[in-house]
Amino acid sequence: MGPLDEDEDTTRSSLVRAEEPEFFALKIMRESMVASDRLARMIDQTNLRPEATEDQIVRLCREAREFDFAAVVVNAAYVELASTQVAGSQVNVAAVVGFPLGATLASVKRFETSEVLKRGAREVDMVLNLGALKSGKREFVQAEIQSLAELTHEQDGLLKVILETCLLTEDEKKLACELSVKAGADFVKTSTGFLGGGATVDDVRLMRRIVGPNIGVKASGGIRTASDAKAMIEVGRIASARAVE
């Protein structure tokens, strides 16, 4: 799969796991101006809670298959389970790496990426090393992203870089996007959802402007209403992410 083609739609949203997320998904589909089948392929159904149980992950995958979402996003420990649950469908398994702080060693992130890919992940959502970015270590940040991008692309996967926009200045957001593009990432993503901040229309607009049309933008965290989701889609103007060939 590798980097996205120029004509590929490249904005994706990540649902905050609610008590009844399937009803939220239906609400968005009913109220959005986007066709429901196209909208479904913009959504990553997500459960990254530390107390998530096997039964909850099975349910997550069942919902994703039912609505034909782009991916399920899970912690590394549940990648194998999720892979068995979505087998035979178009739903990808995405795993988070360096989550949620991004402050682990680059070598650890690479090992973690290798392991989740072996266990069936086809998308990797890595957390940027925020301290390194803020310290001005541009070469380090780019090299870390590039290392994971190359490893993921070897397995025909996609790499998303989580910026944690709520902790960055506007200039830092721009720099993070620029380095992600140079490093060969497939997506930039707003947030982990763990630090209180989430996706905003302004941030998604800024990220899209910096990365251009060929890199995906994933709005993540705090998207709880149909109007929120619609606003993110309208900003991107290009609404679905390529999850499978």
What tokens appear for 85 in the block?
A: 């649950």
Catalytic: 137? no
Pick the catalytic residue from 109, 160, 173, 218. Answer: 218
102 HSE (CA, 13 A, CB side): 24
Torsion of CA 116, 71, 156, 242, to 10 degrees: -160
Give the span between the Cα atoms of 92 and 155, in whole angstroms. 13
Pick the catalytic residue from 125, 186, 203, 228. Answer: 125
What tokens appear for 53 in the block?
A: 């149980």
Give the span between the Cα atoms of 167 and 195, in whole angstroms. 9
Catalytic: 125? yes
Give the span between the Cα atoms of 158 and 125, in whole angstroms. 9
Bridge-partner residues for 43, per DSSP? 13
Pick the catalytic residue from 160, 173, 189, 228. Answer: 189
The answer to whether 223 and 232 have CB atoms below 8 angstroms apart is yes
Catalytic: 189? yes
CA distances to 44, 83, 151 from 234, rounded to whole Å, are 18, 32, 33
Q: Active-site positions?
A: 125, 189, 218
